Structure 1
Amino acid sequence: MRLEKVINRIEIQDEYKEFVEKYIDEILAEFGGQVHSLYMCGSVPKGTATPFKSDADFTLVCAKPEEIDYDKVSLIKDRLLAQYPFLTKIDTIVCSIDDVLHKPNEWGFWIKIICVCVHGPDLGEQVPPIVIAPAFILDLNTDTEAEVKRLHRLLAETDDPALKTRYIKGYAKRLIRALYSLVLEHTGVWEDDIVEMKNAIATYCEIDSAWVEELYACYLNPDVPVAEFLGLADQVYRYFEQALQTMAASRTASD
């Protein structure tokens, strides 16, 4: 079974068009020929963004990511956030052409399936079809363990209430996305709607559904005690880790 693209047509709402054009112009003015192509994902290119609730997510693809000055990217972000305050935040991921073309189940998946091209030649067209199979799901979760540990550490160490809220929300979403990857062979599509993810997990995953509902509640309302959330997150991740190990063992046995 092949994964289909999440966004088939760009439908940026009128109130966001100027911002997107300005972002592209500023990135190109700053980095010029270093940029191969630019991509977006999420509600803005889908045309479902909500002012003062939605953020903007970009991916910059270039030959040498190490040559991109992240401080300059941050300055562009800060200027545009001040100019367009209806955006909650602006995220920019930078990856290499080589990663997209030679890691089809990781960066290739991201560019081909999740993102849409808003400037330059679309590298996703050069990525082979993404086949839903254990190998793909395992590759998709290559960095999940490291990211979970990072979020756990950040949350445990911070005393800043605003950062606690941000980390809990991000951690909860990361775990829901990880769990959803386990049921892709049942759904056949990559959902970017967290409610649809949650419902699919409840339908197809053997995890305790109460954990999933609690995790979703924490995503919606991150104002929960850190210790309580980390206890839930640890339970969920242990289940996920075991499921992934079982998948890997099954794959090895069938090879």
Structure 2
Amino acid sequence: MTKPVRRPGLDAEGHIVREGSLARVPPGYGPVVATARQRLPEVFGTRLHSAYLYGSIPRGTARPGRSDLDLLLVLHAEPTEADRADARALDAELDTRFPQLDGCGTLLFGRERVLSDLERHDLGWFVACLCTPLLGEDLAAALPRYRPGPLLARETNGDLALLLPRWRRRIADAEDTEQARRPLVRFMSRHLVRTGFTLVMPRWNGWTSDLREMAGAFGDYYPQRAGQLRAAAVLGYEPTGDRDVLRSYVDDLGPWLAEEYARVHGVKAARPD
């Protein structure tokens, strides 16, 4: 049996290498990160266990005026509505203060959930491999090393069929304008490209967060759908507000991808409501 080729994003033992670093933060985003580091303890106090950056800023690929600030906060207890309101207020504050940002989004989770068995190959993997420590104890030390295998594929993106009805509602509820649809195109394009990539990730045997590389890897195994994913990768970086694109996502590409994902990897373990 031929040994699979080891792709980028893995160490010598085949584990996914943690991406991102504070050293890679572009100079123009240094003040953004410094302010976030200062404000988070002021806002959340002793509720905050740890804070992480993820996305283009710690990967060093952020584009002024087009990239957002992505934060993940781990609290000692499960987040409350008050915690979420505080996070939204801080997001708005940072987005208003720094013109180089095109939005700010903060995810909130409790420490117990991040370290739970149920989240071991989804949220736990996300923290350990895609998040850059900013404040507090790094939970990656309490999590395993990860390989790009079928279990990781199933638990990260094996829930697309459950998401599609929500996407249809979001599209229906959005204002009928290019401006209102553009964020939906960006979000759904990225999600579909990442799902397409993790579908083939165990065979490709590597990791990347670059949407174009993800679409290219997918196309090696599904040439009949390659053009659709390549187009989605472009829109993930440069979104339009095209209604027909959204319709194609929820009526064609999305349902096909969800069915193929379930066939190949199975369905993600159910989460509590």
TM-score (norm 1): 0.88
The alpha-carbon deviation at position 234 of structure 1 amounts to 2.5
Q: Deviations over 1:17-42 (max 9, x none)?
A: 22212112212111111111100112
1:154 counterpart = 2:164: no
Counterpart of 2:161?
145
Task: For 1:5-24, list aligned pairs within 5 A.
Answer: 5-7=18-20, 10-24=23-37
1:45 match? 58
In 1, the alpha carbon distance for the partners of 2:230 and 2:155 equals 27
Q: Report the equivalent of 1:115.
A: 131
Whether the 8 Å CA contact 1:211–1:232 is kept in 2: the answer is no
- Runs ≥4 residues deviating over 4 A: none
1:70 alignment partner AA: R
Aligned residue for 2:67, secondary structure, equals: coil
Matched, 1:244 2:257: no
Name the residue aligned to 2:7.
none
Q: How does 1:82-121 map to 2 (within 5 A)?
A: 82-102=96-116, 103-121=119-137
Once residues 254 and 214 of structure 2 are traced to their aligned partners in structure 1, the CA distance between those partners, rounded to angstroms, is 16
| 1:12 and 1:44 in contact (8 A); partners too | yes
Offset at 1:248? 4.2
Q: How far apart in 1 are the matches of 2:59 and 2:107?
A: 19
Determine the structure 1 residue equivalent to 2:77: 64
Cα deviations across residues 117-164 of structure 1 (Å, max 9, x unaligned)? 011111012111113322221111254333332222111232242221
- Structure 1 regions of 5+ residues with no counterpart? 250-255
Q: Residues of 1 paired with 2:123 and 2:224: CA distance?
A: 28
- TM-score, normalised to structure 2, is 0.83
DSSP-derived class of the 1:197 partner: helix
- Residue 3 of structure 2 is matched in structure 1 by none
Flag structure 2 segments of 5+ consecutive residues without an equivalent: 1-13, 267-273
Of stretches 209-218 and 129-138 in structure 1, the one that deviates more from structure 2 is 209-218
Matches of 1:231 and 1:46 in 2, distance apart? 31
Instruction: Give 1:16-35 correspondences, 5 Å limit.
Output: 16-35=29-48
2:158–2:258 Cα contact (<8 Å) kept: no
Q: Aligned in 2, Cα 1:228/1:194: closer, same or farther, shift over 3 Å?
A: closer
With 99-108 and 226-235 compared, the bigger mean Cα shift is at: 226-235
Letter of the structure 1 residue corresponding to residue 85 of structure 2: D
8 Å contact kept, 2:148–2:206:
no
